[in-house]
Structure 1
Amino acid sequence: MVTPYPLKFVPEFKERVWGARELERFGFDLPAGNIGEGWMIGEHPNGTTAVADGALAGVRLDELRERFGAEWLGARGISAKTGRFPLLIKLLDCSDDLSVQVHPNDDYERLGAGELGKTEMWYVLDAKPGAKIIYGLREGVDRETLAAAIDQGRILDCLHEVEAKPGDTFYIPAGTVHALGAGVLVAEIQQNSDTTYRLYDYNRPGLDGKPRELHIEDSLNVIAYDGAGASYGKTELPADNAWLPLAASPYFTVEKGRASGEWALSTSADSFQILIVCEGDGAIRWAGGEAPLRPGDCFLLPANLGDYKLTGGLTVLRSYVP
């Protein structure tokens, strides 16, 4: 019998045309190339992470799910549609602009077999001065207007742009046109999906030297032209050792907190919890031990972990399935 403990995973790093080496700041040993994504916790055909240490070192997340099920992941911790872990946790290094894109919802008829739609949220860990994020369409842009702008090579005229600052948060329901701009480093919490429809990619070559595929018809089909409920804003914390809600969706809840001294918390039988350390240093303590925490760390706390404490001085994101 394995006693539950906070699970840290070995990231899967993905080379992207818009990536670089910024994730090295978190102490990761990156493979060669322009690394844009670190898949920190996930179970997907395109990448499944394995436990880094402890009694379950080397066990993949899919194996952990099959072995422990709802006891460890919680009553709502397994996707009813796919049978997999329901979320995908990433760190993104956007050293260049990402494509202008949109994601479908779970009901889109052309969604790939075994795929979910993709509602997500970003928390900006760092941003260079003047960094921008494309976030939705400008007022009055409908399908016909957008299609014409694409044909005429002026899609950027239809997009709403926002300046990005460290600590900003962006909630991006399926159907929201969006793009991270050059110079931002973000934590991403999303549905467990790898489906992206590209509207525009700045006419640049991909890693293979060829233009990356665009998905104009699918994109026009899934965009929520009247709005999908997207929101963004600042995340100033009013007090230590208290949670500030950042995003609430049918798929995940995300909160931000600042631990100071000692913060007593607990898991519940409903869902696992994900902790992402944004800044500061400290530790997590539970009945069976203690582990250090530093920026970039991502932990999965089993639903049956029970009481735990965050100590030191650090800012964290907490995510779970509502």
Structure 2
Amino acid sequence: MSNVQPYPLHFKPEFKERVWGGRALERFGFEVPQGAIGEGWMIADHPNGISHVTNGALAGKGLDEIRELVGETWFGAKGATGNGRFPLLIKLLDCNDDLSIQVHPNDHYDRLPKGELGKTEMWYVLDAKPGAKIIYGLEQGVDRAALATAIEEGRIMECLQEVSVKAGDTFYIPAGTVHALCAGVVVAEIQQNSDTTYRLYDYNRPGLDGKMRELHVEDSLNVIAYEDSGASRMSTDGAKPGEWLTLASSPYFVTDKGIVNGEWSQATNGNSFVIVIVCEGAGSIGWSNGVVDARAGDCFLLPASLGQYSLNGEMTVLRSLLP
């Protein structure tokens, strides 16, 4: 298989039922299974979810298998993590209800599960109902003791910042940032390849199995960045056709927003793969050996060795690569 010519990989998502999920991911034309579907793992190489290629010579293969076959040449010099897996995890989230109040550890937390990494992530809001909001960080001056007391007394919401959101807003969420998506929001999430979440509070609601979901208060209090996590947010209304607008620049990924209006020539640099998420509109991705259709909700993995390619049509995209 090592003689397969590089081409843009398109994936079939792995869908996850969540107590807070809904049916919004159907709007992208996916075959969404029955139930409250909260997450589509679009590009995933994790023990808890693997996405599979739908197109070309590698169709039907999982990202884990592709990593074994062509990883180094296709993913680039920086394309493997400390645990050997693909370094990023790309999801679409349908928040039909509020998510738990949560925080993620960094790579150095000594109580991480074996083989697991920390989780720095970002959100790009694809859709938001009027009045939608998220939880994003602690109120100023809240330290560990104050937060622990508020949790014991059932007042945690007083310690959290609420932020109104609209489509096109973006949020960078370094490890240690307390956060929660709330009802009425659909987002694209770009994150370290990790599935470690510590829950501080879950509105005293039962999970899908009718039992209360586990909380991780001690771990949460340990990993929160009380001073400044480095979180940042922005409206992306200023994005202009044919220019990349940088949304997040982290040690783990750099993500830009681009508006495609016609044909826009690009190239991979050999050091990193490029992930393209189509947020709205439709078009195609062309390269030396072919062209693949692209529409809202589609996520593509462009090999580092692809070289010249073009984004075509009328669409808004996110581009993510390793720094």
Indicate the residue corresponding to 2:174 in structure 1: 173
SS at match of 1:56: coil
8 Å Cα contact 1:177/1:223 also seen in 2: yes
Change (3 A) 1:17 1:315: same
Indicate the residue corresponding to 1:8 in structure 2: 10
Indicate the residue corresponding to 2:35 in structure 1: 33
Which amino acid in structure 1 is aligned with residue 21 of structure 2? G
Q: Distance in 1 between matches of 2:48 and 2:240?
A: 40
Which amino acid in structure 2 is aligned with residue 32 of structure 1? Q
- Which residue, out of 17, 20, 23, partners 1:21? 23
Shift in Å, 1:88: 0.2
Shift in Å, 1:238: 4.4
1:200-232 alpha-carbon deviations (Å, 9 max, x no partner):
000111000011000000000000000110011
1:121-141 alpha-carbon deviations (Å, 9 max, x no partner):
000000000001000000010
Q: Distance in 1 between matches of 2:44 and 2:259?
A: 25
Shift in Å, 1:239: 2.4
Bigger drift between 213-222 and 277-286 goes to 277-286
Shift in Å, 1:236: 1.9
1:127-185 alpha-carbon deviations (Å, 9 max, x no partner):
00000100000001000000000000010000001001000000000000000010000
Change (3 A) 1:140 1:30: same
Q: Distance in 2 between matches of 1:174 and 1:52?
A: 32
- Which residue, out of 53, 66, 75, partners 1:73? 75
Indicate the residue corresponding to 2:122 in structure 1: 121
TM-score by length of 2: 0.98
Which amino acid in structure 2 is aligned with residue 11 of structure 1? P
SS at match of 1:233: strand
Q: Distance in 1 between matches of 2:282 and 2:12?
A: 20
Q: Distance in 2 between matches of 1:69 and 1:126?
A: 34
8 Å Cα contact 2:239/2:258 also seen in 1: no
* 1:249 and 2:226 matched: no
Indicate the residue corresponding to 2:112 in structure 1: 111
Indicate the residue corresponding to 2:154 in structure 1: 153
Q: Distance in 1 between matches of 2:246 and 2:21?
A: 30
1:31-77 alpha-carbon deviations (Å, 9 max, x no partner):
11100000000100001111112110111111111111221000001
Which amino acid in structure 2 is aligned with residue 300 of structure 1? L
Percentage of identical aligned residues: 69
SS at match of 1:55: coil
8 Å Cα contact 1:72/1:302 also seen in 2: yes
Indicate the residue corresponding to 1:305 in structure 2: 306
Q: Distance in 2 between matches of 1:307 and 1:110?
A: 43
Unaligned runs of 5+ in 1: none
Q: Distance in 2 between matches of 1:222 and 1:196?
A: 11
Indicate the residue corresponding to 1:320 in structure 2: 321
Unaligned runs of 5+ in 2: none
Q: Distance in 1 between matches of 2:287 and 2:136?
A: 40
SS at match of 2:57: helix
